[in-house]
Structure 1
């Protein structure tokens, strides 16, 4: 029954009388079935009781149909039969109301729960009824645009229609179909399942690529794999989606691949396109698979990739064995330009083990999640206790190491917290990303304590060596706030908070408005415009950023200039403003391109987005 529901409905989770609860995905490590597990067990108990009670009042009679008859001659047997009837009704009710109790879901029950649906050129979008009308229209627009883009990338038209389910949040998605933080596609159902994520949605294109690839996939699940598609090839399944819809990271997949090769982290590519894909961290496996598929499509053609996906033998299709393909791919990676700092970031990002290489990942992640909740609700002593419990089980859980030190520094033993953060920044055993986070936490503490010069130096040092475009931009804004009195209250409220409370978007907005009113600033305008667009106020955000664009040279950092153009392009896409899209593209392709000198991944992603949404945009005066 569970297998049939997996095949015939959106759900991937399962309840079983013997096994219990199966969440359906490897990558969600915090597994909490909630009250549904209790009601399911009660239903199972009712079923067992009903069977036992009916058996106790049945009497074998050869002269009766089926050879059985109810024995209701005594008060005892009539009482047992009554209990059997009640248990049967309880068991039946458990099944009939299974969707309400969370035991299983259907496409219809999920659509009813979410409550709203819109239809586009090729996308049928199911979404929460509480979604604003403008956001709902953008969901449909985004789906149609990204579906057309991945169809073009893969060289096939794809299915006539695709159904996209957008859930309120990760917990809502987990409750209704089983995957919390893992995005899911079911190519054989021509459906994708995601939580709301703004416009443009960062993962929608990837999941749609799975559905489009299903048109040339194998077997009943329409995927790549052996044995008629019943033994999946996860590297090929995910690699083709990554290649068809690259993300907007600062480095391209090929650049990350070269960094891994230089660090000695690049496995034999034949291993990536086997079940060995699951042995490494997901970020590493997905990235390498995508880089290889992109290279293969360039050298052998996308038609070859499609044939391989559909069951062809790659060595026969290319006339090259795996060692030859592996060697040619490495030769290609050696030609890919790479920023100086890429290797250290790649080591931190890709050297960590996959889920099967971690210690007690489900328990550790559940405890860390509980500690994070305590921290965010200002129960700091309990948070510290839980973080330490995590570290007792896995001493190499660097996220908990950093979090407990930060809580100590700001809300507990300040000296001990600072010492722990300093120790992290100096330890070669701590990955680069966590060393930098510890350094940033020390800078934040300096800022809050009023040690602005020290804070600025730390922020600037981190930003100078960071490849994380978003993170480095935040560091630059913090450094600016530390050095400029007029910006300080806004930066503190928006990004840091104070000794008692964390950042507050409302207070940050008030301070930004005050700063910009007293002394109009291009940076204040950028922060206002970006936050307006991030919250769906595209018209207002576009107007503010147009004013900033006219003063682009006044912005203090190149990264903020780049983000100004990217955010203006997002607003133009949302508003179908072809004129603004053309201006942004012209700026990016001009000699004064602010992306010049950057790694390249974000620039390419911005141009792809402009191309994707330009087909139905309208010119404006």
Structure 2
């Protein structure tokens, strides 16, 4: 379908442009053709530069979604209509030129009309959904809050509690980065907050990836991502204060420097420090030659987590050990040896030695979980599969299980896609065909070894075995996950199941019940004493079910003691939850309590970061909230 929609019109477009160039100036037709080609190429650049969008439509390539990391690209109605308009316009060019003598129109009139049409399209395209101007964006993100360092736009109807949390975190991250660097953007940063990925994809162009435009001092984030991506995107705007060129980016658009600086100011990835994860990646052999990441192809031709984490950790090392001033010069010139007076390979070697000297514990399972995946350039038909997956899951949500099952199986005939496997398993669970689910999981699980999907599928397989009555085999897999510790959430999930089995609690309601049933199950599991690794999941259920904050805290009326990793992380999670509910005094108290555990160097950095946030919000949060409330009431 893509071949038909993109390639076929291009033949007519190319022919029309060539014909028009000859018609306009037979003598300089090549120069005219080249000029028109350059102009068409410049239009998307102008749109991306000035407009709050990162996608574009162009006669040359049809459509660009905004980021290479977005696999969910399909031939939709908008693209089909756009290509039909392309065909119509360029066919008109061909027809008018061939009929010019019959029409008896002067060349200047024909040229004027043929130029007026695309100019008119450029002006009207925002109203048709083919371009997003600031006016169009503000018509949907129609609420505005002005705070100390930000102008935040968000849609009416967005949960005010969520809006307040986003603005509070924005201000903290801004102050934190400013204190680190002693520089900041010239004007207030403009923050566009979208309700969901669909709205963001339609208006901005990148549904799954949050983005910043340093040259405009703007960030574009999906509301639910604020605690994961906000600091990173704000850091990009700080780089605009010293970036080079029209786009205020790194020299040569070097992705290692662009993303490395932002990642260095946001030094956590999924609750782990980037240094800790880089240590795991290098020990496991996922990054044998870091030097490759300094060029464009080397950065993108590997899993993004590897490139981002190395870039961030190494940039942080340069800033902390060789001054931020030198890093700025490196960022704007790209000349490492001249700026630092050292060979890049030697500095990388010193960085590796310093990293390996830290008291981290190596865990191959962690390395596989975070780095064992394919980059998008090496996946099989990623766009096609993503498109079909969306359709299949939509059918699943509508309970059209047979239709969804057919598509999932079609995908699996082309690729061992993890989402298709889990989708098919979910259908088998709905049909209570647990043995079919077990057979499917066992037939694919070995193909996912040394990837995160192996561990996720292991938990699913264990659940299926439990539901089919094979409790001992399920318990064995749960224990394997718990002992391997590939990921904190996955480990806690396995521990919950192990604890229930050891107490002879049936897991049926937890594995098959509603969110309310699962929440009640965890409450009952804690009735005889705290099981600390259940706290994060209890918090998630409480938030999803919109339970009253004070009622939720009644579940923790016994004394909480921090004595190990699980209890420490439980207290940390409660502190984060308290911050979300603007209970700053109690949040800071729990943040300090979590710091009593200092036996894990990776976790310690996360705890210190949370304490800094809670301490700052205790001192500044009420003032900022008062300002927000006064504007929301208008």
Q: Shorter-chain TM-score: what band?
A: 0.7 to 0.9
Query: Against the structure 1 CA distance between its residues 307 and 533, is the aligned structure 2 distance closer, same or farther, given a 3 Å change threshold?
Result: farther
Query: What TM-score, normalized by structure 2, do the two folds share?
Result: 0.80
Query: Against the structure 1 CA distance between its residues 368 and 286, is the aligned structure 2 distance closer, same or farther, given a 3 Å change threshold?
Result: same
Pick from 288, 292, 296 the counterpart of residue 271 of structure 1.
292
CA–CA distance in structure 2, aligned partners of residues 406 and 66 of structure 1: 65
Cross-structure match for 2:262: 241
Query: Against the structure 1 CA distance between its residues 90 and 450, is the aligned structure 2 distance closer, same or farther, given a 3 Å change threshold?
Result: farther
The CA deviation string for residues 82-110 of structure 1, in whole angstroms up to 9 with x for no partner, is xxx9x999988865542232111012211
Give ranges in structure 2 of 5+ residues lacking alignment.
1-42, 624-634
Query: Residue 439 of structure 2: SS of its match in structure 1?
Result: helix
Query: Against the structure 1 CA distance between its residues 597 and 141, is the aligned structure 2 distance closer, same or farther, given a 3 Å change threshold?
Result: closer
Cross-structure match for 1:606: 610
User: How far 1:504 moved relative to its partner?
Assistant: 2.7
Query: Residue 218 of structure 1: SS of its match in structure 2?
Result: coil
Cross-structure match for 1:587: 593
Cross-structure match for 1:72: none
User: How far 1:287 moved relative to its partner?
Assistant: 0.9
Pairs within 5 Å for 1:193-232: 193-197=220-224, 201-225=227-251, 231-232=252-253
How many residues are paired up?
A: 578
Pick from 14, 21, 41 the counterpart of residue 83 of structure 2.
41
Cross-structure match for 1:387: 408
Pick from 495, 515, 518 the counterpart of residue 505 of structure 1.
515
Pick from 302, 306, 310 the counterpart of residue 284 of structure 1.
306
CA–CA distance in structure 2, aligned partners of residues 68 and 362 of structure 1: 44
Cross-structure match for 2:157: 130
Query: Residue 496 of structure 2: SS of its match in structure 1?
Result: helix
CA–CA distance in structure 2, aligned partners of residues 414 and 526 of structure 1: 29
CA–CA distance in structure 1, aligned partners of residues 422 and 542 of structure 2: 32
Cross-structure match for 2:511: 496
Query: Against the structure 1 CA distance between its residues 534 and 605, is the aligned structure 2 distance closer, same or farther, given a 3 Å change threshold?
Result: farther
Pick from 418, 421, 424 the counterpart of residue 441 of structure 2.
421
User: How far 1:52 moved relative to its partner?
Assistant: 6.6
Task: Verify the 8 A CA contact 1:250 1:467 in the aligned structure 2.
Answer: no
CA-based RMSD of the aligned residues comes to 3.8
CA–CA distance in structure 2, aligned partners of residues 223 and 91 of structure 1: 31
2:573 is aligned with 1:567 = yes
CA–CA distance in structure 1, aligned partners of residues 230 and 542 of structure 2: 19
Q: Higher helix share goes to which structure?
A: 2
Query: Against the structure 1 CA distance between its residues 130 and 299, is the aligned structure 2 distance closer, same or farther, given a 3 Å change threshold?
Result: same
User: How far 1:224 moved relative to its partner?
Assistant: 0.6
Task: Verify the 8 A CA contact 1:146 1:205 in the aligned structure 2.
Answer: yes
Task: Verify the 8 A CA contact 2:173 2:231 in the aligned structure 1.
Answer: yes
Task: Verify the 8 A CA contact 2:303 2:373 in the aligned structure 1.
Answer: yes
Pick from 194, 197, 209 the counterpart of residue 167 of structure 1.
194
CA–CA distance in structure 1, aligned partners of residues 76 and 619 of structure 2: 46
Of residues 183-192 and 576-585 in structure 1, the stretch that sits farther from structure 2 once superposed is 576-585
Query: Residue 292 of structure 1: SS of its match in structure 2?
Result: helix
Task: Verify the 8 A CA contact 2:522 2:538 in the aligned structure 1.
Answer: no
Query: What TM-score, normalized by structure 1, do the two folds share?
Result: 0.81
2:142 is aligned with 1:142 = no
User: How far 1:30 moved relative to its partner?
Assistant: 1.5
User: How far 1:148 moved relative to its partner?
Assistant: 1.8
Query: Residue 224 of structure 2: SS of its match in structure 1?
Result: coil
CA–CA distance in structure 1, aligned partners of residues 108 and 68 of structure 2: 49
2:129 is aligned with 1:102 = yes
Of residues 503-512 and 287-296 in structure 1, the stretch that sits farther from structure 2 once superposed is 503-512
Cross-structure match for 1:78: none
Pick from 543, 552, 575 the counterpart of residue 544 of structure 1.
552
Cross-structure match for 1:20: 62
CA–CA distance in structure 1, aligned partners of residues 516 and 595 of structure 2: 37
The CA deviation string for residues 347-384 of structure 1, in whole angstroms up to 9 with x for no partner, is 34324332222222222333334334444444444444
Task: Verify the 8 A CA contact 1:579 1:618 in the aligned structure 2.
Answer: no
User: How far 1:214 moved relative to its partner?
Assistant: 1.1
CA–CA distance in structure 1, aligned partners of residues 471 and 423 of structure 2: 23
Cross-structure match for 1:74: none
